[in-house]
Amino acid sequence: MIRWYSHTNLQFLFPCDSSLILSEPTIHIGAVANALERKGIQTERGNINREIIKNNLLLEQAKEMLMLAKQELHSAQYATYKSTQIKNTAVSVKNEVMEMIAKVRERKGRLDLPIVSGKHLRKISDRTALQSADNAEKFITTRKIDSFESLTKFTADREQKYSQLKTAHLSKGQKLNRLKELSKMYALFPPIQATYRESQSLKGLVKMRYDKEHKDSLSKYHELKERMQSLLQNDEKITPKQWKVEIQSLQSEYDSIGREQTKTATE
């Protein structure tokens, strides 16, 4: 069986069970970008999510192609079908994947992927890319895929790489978020700590008056302190300058892995 996957001008044909179809989660765009998107202003991270949503829809639609491929592979017409002339090559070779594409094209004039429903269907502007046999053939020939067996291996290798990148991306993200929150807590803590210490140094009516005037700050002291302590790991020292350097490094690695992850899933 095969699955059909489109990303702009690049296409995927995936074999095997539909449970192996990759579905990439959208990224967190943040409050600022979210506010801009609600106003109709597109952002870079919003565009990434739109691209991910588009690709995920294509993967859902690929399930329809799996069923069609199974029917074609076992039909009497396919058993008598002659070898397909592979485009963009000077040599004519028998290629069962290309034969499947050609057979569907012969019947319908295009790759027939019925689009009847989809969570993100209304977000797709160019649906003709889903039915481009030319793009499918280009994908197969440029990657020298000549059988469903080689297509299965290609899919398995790509899925393994995606899984490894996903794990690495998640790990970097967790480390990055911890340091970002530590930095945020630390930036808030010193003035509140100073207020708390001043309160502790006072007595009697003076302390009561001071505590009343600084009620909000004093109420946050223990909460912030406990939160910072919970974020610190294994006797970790409070080193805001070092955190800043690590955050910059982790952010770069996190973004790089994210781009590679998206590329692996969509090209």
What one-character-per-residue DSSP string does the chain give?
A: -EEEEEETTEEEEEES-GGG---PPPPP-HHHHHHHHHTT---HHHHHHHHHHHHHHHHHHHHHHHHHHHHHHTSHHHHTPPPP--TT-SS----HHHHHHHHHHHHHSS--------TTGGG-S--GGGG-HHHHHHHHHHTT--SHHHHHHHHHHHHHHHHHHHHHHHHHHHHHHHHHHHHHHHHHHHHHHHHHHHHHH--HHHHHHHHHHTHHHHHHHHHHHHHHHHH--TT----HHHHHHHHHHHHHHHHHHHHHHHHHHH-
pLDDT at 4: 41
- Inside any domain, residue 83: yes
CA atoms within 13 A on the CB side of 30: 8
Q: Where among 149, 177, 204 does a domain terminate? A: 149
In 3D space, the residue among 54, 65, 66, 70 whose CA is nearest the CA of residue 118 turns out to be 54
* 155 lies in some domain: no
pLDDT for 79: 59
Q: How is residue 229 written in tokens?
A: 């302590």
Mean pLDDT per 10-residue section of the chain, whose length is 267 residues: 38 46 71 78 81 75 66 62 47 68 75 49 54 74 83 85 91 94 90 92 93 92 90 88 94 93 75
- State residue 77's pLDDT score: 57
The number of domains in the chain is 2
Residue 143 has a pLDDT of 80
My answer on whether 50 and 121 are in the same domain is yes
In this structure, the answer to whether residues 137 and 11 fall within a common structural domain is yes
Q: How far is CA 254 from the centre of its chain?
A: 12
Asked whether residue 130 falls in the same domain as residue 65, the answer is yes
Rounded CA separation 85/91 (Å):
8
- Give yes or no: residues 140 and 179 share one domain: no
Contacts of residue 10, defined as CB under 8 A and 6 or more positions apart, other chains included, come to 135, 139, 266, 267
* CA angle at 164 for the pair 160 and 170, rounded to the nearest 5°: 140
One domain, residues 132 and 204: no
Would you state the pLDDT for residue 113?
A: 53
Specify whether 133 is located in the same domain as 261: no
Predicted local distance difference test score (pLDDT) of residue 201: 93
Instruction: Give the separation between CA 241 and CA 239, rounded to whole angstroms.
Output: 6
Domain end (from 149, 183, 213): 149
Largest CA distance in the chain: 100
Residue 33 and residue 26: Cα distance in Å, rounded?
14
Q: Give the residue from 91, 119, 149 where a domain finishes.
A: 149
Kindly state whether residue 124 falls inside one of the protein's structural domains: yes
| pLDDT attached to residue 99 | 82
Residue type, 117: S
pLDDT given at position 248:
96
* Shared domain check, 209 and 89: no
Predicted local confidence at residue 211, as pLDDT: 92
Full domain range(s) for residue 251: 167-266
Residues with Cβ within 8 Å of residue 158, at least 6 apart in sequence: 264
Q: And the tokens for 192?
A: 């509140």
Q: Is residue 190 part of a domain?
A: yes
| Separation CA 61–CA 126 (nearest Å) | 14
pLDDT of residue 158: 84
Contact yes or no for 130/105 (Cβ under 8 A): no
